């Protein structure tokens, strides 16, 4: 019989301390949950980058840095290479963000919850949270992706409209308009980042709402929105710290690797692509290490908000006392 979990309201420091403790104690399990799907993906992506995608990536990079032109004055665009290179990037990005990420984070939320509540769990059992929830996770992720895509399209349209209007002017008016355009781009970019941060914070607990509370995709979005109400800045602060820590784990090493390869091999297309491919590989390995810690923290914060707003600890203890009677 498992001991009754010690659920309580936690401070900012308590959440981070408990998250690191759970992460260290169950490191191999969390690592195994992520690696179970992530390692095959990394192998497949690496094979593509160094076989089929290599020549296309070099051709695209060469054309981007030094475009060639035909006798008619039109650039000799390597269309097939562009299709292979960008098609591969898009395909792997969709596979990872829409499919793998949703399944891995769902399994992590399931495992972390059971560990935190004092219940047994294994790596394979972590993924056994129901097929309907798989679909709900993917639909919720897709809905958020489309929402952000619309925002990004508006952002690009605003900048493109400003550039077009500025280019149509002449003389001093064009100079003043150019300065105004630069300031407007900075303002719009800042507004776009603020909106993204706001959406990311309010939607932080969609996975937990689906996997742990059995909500549908759109109900989960509403559930996350309600949980984070009145606790936005606290939630944002914790999420921001975890994003910074994740960047330290896999962002900084990838940057160092790319700069190192560029320093040794120069800025030839082959050197640039080699640096990018190795950096992506290192980033994916760092992702396996950092993602569990992020989701341990998010899940602890999810339970903390439920305890603060709904008295979840009292409800759970009542259920457990009844089961022991």
Spell out the residues 6+ positions from residue 216 whose beta carbon is closer than 8 angstroms to its own.
Answer: 136, 210
- Rounded to an integer, the average pLDDT of 152-161 is 82
Q: Which two tokens stand for residue 228?
A: 């984070």
The predicted pLDDT at position 235 comes to: 93
At 268-311, the pLDDT tens digits run: 778 878 888 888 888 888 889 999 999 999 999 999 999 888 87
* Residues 62 and 316 sit within 8 Å (Cβ to Cβ): no
pLDDT averaged over the chain? 83
What is the pTM for the complete model shown? 0.83
Q: Which of 18-22, 60-64, 140-144, 293-297 has the lowest mean pLDDT?
A: 60-64
Provide the β-strand partners of residue 75: 69
The predicted pLDDT at position 71 comes to: 56
Q: Which long-range contacts (CB under 8 A, 24 or more apart) does 68-75 make?
A: none
Q: Which two tokens stand for residue 77?
A: 């665009």
Q: Which two tokens stand for residue 199?
A: 């959406």
pLDDT higher than threshold 50 for residue 319: no
Per-residue buried b or exposed e for 126-142, using 16+ beta carbons within 10 Å of the residue's own CB? bbebeeebbebbbbbbe
- Rounded to an integer, the average pLDDT of 81-96 is 87
């Amino acid at each position: 019989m498992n001991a009754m979990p010690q659920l309580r309201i936690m401070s900012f420091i308590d959440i981070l301390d408990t998250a690191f403790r759970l992460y260290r104690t169950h490191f191999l399990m969390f690592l195994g949950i992520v690696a179970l799907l992530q390692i095959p993906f990394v192998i497949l992506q690496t094979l593509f980058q160094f076989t089929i995608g290599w020549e296309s990536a070099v051709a695209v990079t060469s054309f981007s840095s030094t475009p060639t032109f035909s006798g008619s004055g039109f650039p000799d665009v390597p269309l097939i290479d562009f299709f292979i290179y960008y098609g591969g990037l898009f395909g792997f990005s969709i596979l990872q963000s829409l499919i793998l990420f949703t399944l891995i984070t769902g399994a992590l939320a399931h495992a972390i919850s059971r560990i935190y509540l004092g219940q047994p769990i294994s790596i394979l059992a972590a993924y056994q949270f129901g097929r309907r929830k798989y679909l709900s996770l993917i639909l919720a992720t897709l809905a958020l992706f489309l929402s952000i895509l619309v925002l990004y399209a508006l952002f690009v349209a605003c900048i493109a409209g400003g550039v077009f209007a500025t280019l149509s002017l002449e003389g001093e008016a064009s100079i003043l308009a150019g300065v105004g355009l630069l300031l407007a781009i900075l303002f719009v970019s800042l507004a776009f980042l603020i909106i993204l941060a706001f959406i990311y914070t309010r939607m932080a607990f969609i996975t937990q709402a689906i996997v742990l509370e059995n909500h549908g995709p759109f109900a989960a979005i509403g559930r996350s929105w309600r949980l984070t109400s009145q606790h936005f800045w606290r939630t944002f602060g914790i999420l921001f710290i975890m994003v910074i820590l994740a960047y330290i784990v896999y962002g900084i090493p990838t940057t160092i690797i790319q700069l190192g390869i560029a320093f040794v091999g120069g800025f030839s297309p082959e050197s640039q692509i080699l640096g990018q491919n190795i950096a992506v590989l290192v980033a994916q390995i760092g992702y396996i290490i950092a993602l569990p810690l992020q989701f341990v923290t998010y899940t602890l914060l999810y339970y903390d908000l439920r305890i603060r707003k709904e008295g979840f600890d009292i409800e759970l203890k009542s259920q457990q006392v009844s089961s022991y009677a």
